A and B are shown apart, each in its own frame.
Chain A
């Protein structure tokens, strides 16, 4: 099974900051990497797929990069509504697996 490891586990930042969250796979997953945002009490929401493709309707301040085993989610200028928990997820093989999450909090 493929293990996904995110860092950091939590992050404090301010509105307007640029933030980077990283995700590492235990083996190559080419670019079969997705990012989700989850707010308390809600289901996750797809932000980015194929490592760097923005899902329809997602603001352009979100971007993704990487291939193979190392990936990153970048938020260029944090907005108040972006404070949430973010998960990476691989769709290279089954069982599908998620990172442990990165909780983004207001500084």
Chain B
């Protein structure tokens, strides 16, 4: 079980760029079957998957944010990052980083993908 820790600014103004980093410890970001993910949750609201990146640098984004979002990975520093441009009040949320992994049964059949390990979350507020 790896540990993840989000870091970054807690307060931004509208139109600024949000930059967050997730530092991975207790394991390598280069490990197989680990997909490094960002998820956010507005106060009192539900969970929104933002995107994920693999060790190779291959990224997948939620289409609702794709024009503003970039996720990168730094394998030498064992961390991955999120950049969200042109933020508005609607981007105010707690941002979680997480490790997703494929699950398999005893015969090797894939059983889907789960978010196994999570950071504590970081509250980001966008306000003038």
Contacts and interface: CB of A to CB of B under 8 A. Distances in A.
Interface of A: 1, 31-34, 36, 42-46, 49-50, 53, 55, 87, 89, 91-92, 94-101
Which 7 A-B pairs rank lowest in CB-CB distance, beginning with the nearest?
A: A43-B118, A50-B111, A32-B112, A96-B49, A91-B113, A91-B112, A95-B62
A43 B111 contact: no
Nearest to B47: A98
Nearest to A103: B44
Given A50-B103, A97-B49, A91 B118 contact: no
Nearest to A87: B47
Contacts, number: 62
User: How would you classify the secondary structure of chain A's contact residues: helix, strand, loop or mixed?
Assistant: loop
Contacts of B113: 32, 91, 96
Contact of B115 (A32, A46, A53): A46
A43 B113 CA distance: 17
A97 B64 CA distance: 12
A99 B46 CA distance: 8
B66 to A, nearest CB: 10
Contacts of B63: 1, 95
Nearest to B61: A95
B124 to A, nearest CB: 15
Given A87-B46, A97-B49, A31 B112 contact: yes
A46 B112 contact: no
Contact of A94 (B48, B60, B114): B60
A6 to B, nearest CB: 9
A44 B49 contact: no
B120 interface: yes
A73 to B, nearest CB: 15
A83 to B, nearest CB: 17
A43 B123 CA distance: 12
B31 to A, nearest CB: 18
Contacts of B116: 46
A46 B99 CA distance: 12
Given A43-B119, A43-B120, A49-B103, A95 B114 contact: no
A69 to B, nearest CB: 15
A106 B61 CA distance: 38
